[in-house]
Chain A
């Protein structure tokens, strides 16, 4: 199991479009992906889950991955946060 804490860097937060992008990225890997904010944990492969996280600008999100390709998955997801979900 691997985990990393990241910051939401795009102004609008994780709304529908970034959530879809995140879920699409996570679904490419066989590892299970979870996101955690304020001790609330959701499945990173479910759009509705990711949106209800209410990840606003500058909030901390813990990304937890577990499985065969966990390194690659974690890297790809963290990269999305770094790229501000191709926004701003």
Chain B
């Protein structure tokens, strides 16, 4: 993974309930400092002079308590603990609830090149938000080749050899009112160990598609904003392949196959492609069937069960008639 610096944190484009509302007050040269772990520290003990097991690599959060203690230290001219704290290479100090850092603390931070950030959020709200943001950033990720579309609310990752028609199929799905998340290069992140989030590797390129014979098209401009989505959970993986006459394809579907992606089992469909086969409709139906399964109804299993019941009754009848 690339280095994630304090500057990267400030430049994240986060909205609504993810917004961190951070601004930099000072220590700008330190913005290139790296954030190495998705964890926080309240530096109360360090300010009190206890530096054993001081979590220097974490983001330091200064709330009301810490800030008023800093003011008290400055009033009593006891700056040694603050100086000692800045002898560590802290990634940054964040003042919550729009609190202002006291002047001497501020100049010591400037001296040591430690960035001072400020947010209008309360300490607890800021903590939950930044934990969410950082755990996303530090989540294991992988770039995969394929098209990610949202079909009836199900995130479907379509994969297959190039030339099998992934983009054309995605285009047809968009035409039918579904949404494009990313074409060609999809970044998959494993969030919380069991949740796969997919989005375009590159924000600028993700809502463009390359269609052979047309070139690059802009999906947002052609189909409207309703036809795109920024990110989506991957809930179904469709593997397209050329129809192989020697291979047997699933005809019943009573056994659910899954495939592993970043350690998460994703429902998996293998769909053979041949000219004249309407793949978008098959994918739509597969997505709806996936929703049905989530609601607790498994078409293939229910079908199998009712056939078994029927055969059993038939047999009982024939045994009965024979005995008469």
Contacts and interface: CB of A to CB of B under 8 A. Distances in A.
Interface of A: 12-17, 20, 23-24, 47, 51, 54-59
A56 B304 contact: no
A23 B250 CA distance: 12
Contacts of A23: 251
Given A54-B311, A54-B314, A24 B248 contact: yes
A17 B308 CA distance: 10
25 contacts: A12-B308, A12-B311, A12-B312, A13-B311, A13-B315, A14-B311, A15-B304, A15-B307, A15-B308, A16-B252, A16-B303, A16-B307, A17-B254, A20-B251, A24-B251, A47-B251, A47-B252, A51-B307, A54-B311, A54-B314, A56-B311, A56-B314, A56-B315, A57-B315, A59-B318
B152 interface: no
A16 B315 contact: no
Contacts of B315: 13, 56-58
Given A12-B311, A15-B304, A54-B314, 9 more contacts: A12-B312, A16-B252, A16-B307, A17-B254, A47-B252, A51-B307, A54-B311, A56-B312, A57-B315
Is the interface on chain B under 10, 10 to 19, 20 to 34, or 35 or more residues?
10 to 19
A20 B314 CA distance: 20
Interface in B267-324: 300, 303-304, 307-308, 310-312, 314-315, 318
- Interface on chain A toward B: helix, strand, loop, or mixed SS? loop
